[in-house]
Amino acid sequence: MQGKYVHLRYGIILARQEQADIIRQPLVELEQLRLDVFEYANDAVQAVRKRQPKVVIADYERFGAAGIHGLAELMAEADAPVILFARDCSDWEKEQFVELGVQRVFGAKFKLSELAAEVDRAIKRRRRIGSSDRLPVIV
């Protein structure tokens, strides 16, 4: 009997464990992603320094006081498309998301199928553009 091999692409989720549990399994099944979960932004930054993800899915609240600067640091280190969950944020923060090149921002309610489709687009974008898509740094 011949075995079937599946290549899992690597991604990270920066979110509370409860949030990550909800979105992780559908993405693993639909997009063949191996997703590591981090609850703290510093841990996520350390992880992307060791292994470059194909996509980053992050809850903006997890950046805490670092806010947009923490997001910019993670994006610069990851050099990968970022999909963000941001429930309550200012207009200035929304403008910064655009400036940073966040792939997509989801609000409080969304469909898992929409998230999966966005992850698929992000991974295809990553393959097409690659490292030449450098991100601006917020000072």
Walk across the sheet containing 82-85 and list its strands.
Answer: 33-38, 9-14, 55-59, 82-85, 104-106
- What topology is assigned to 9-126 in CATH? Rossmann fold (3.40.50)
User: pLDDT averaged over consecutive 10-residue blocks of the chain (139 residues)?
Assistant: 58 92 84 87 93 91 89 90 89 89 88 89 65 49
Residue 126 is predicted with a pLDDT of: 59
The string of DSSP codes covering 102-136 is -SEEE-S---HHHHHHHHHHHHHHHHHHGGGSPPP
Residue 8 is predicted with a pLDDT of: 64
Global model pTM greater than 0.85: no
Could you tell me the two tokens for 65?
């006081």
Q: Would you kindly state where each structural domain of the chain is located, as residue ranges?
A: 9-126
Residue 88 is predicted with a pLDDT of: 83
Cα 64 from Cα 79, distance rounded (Å): 21
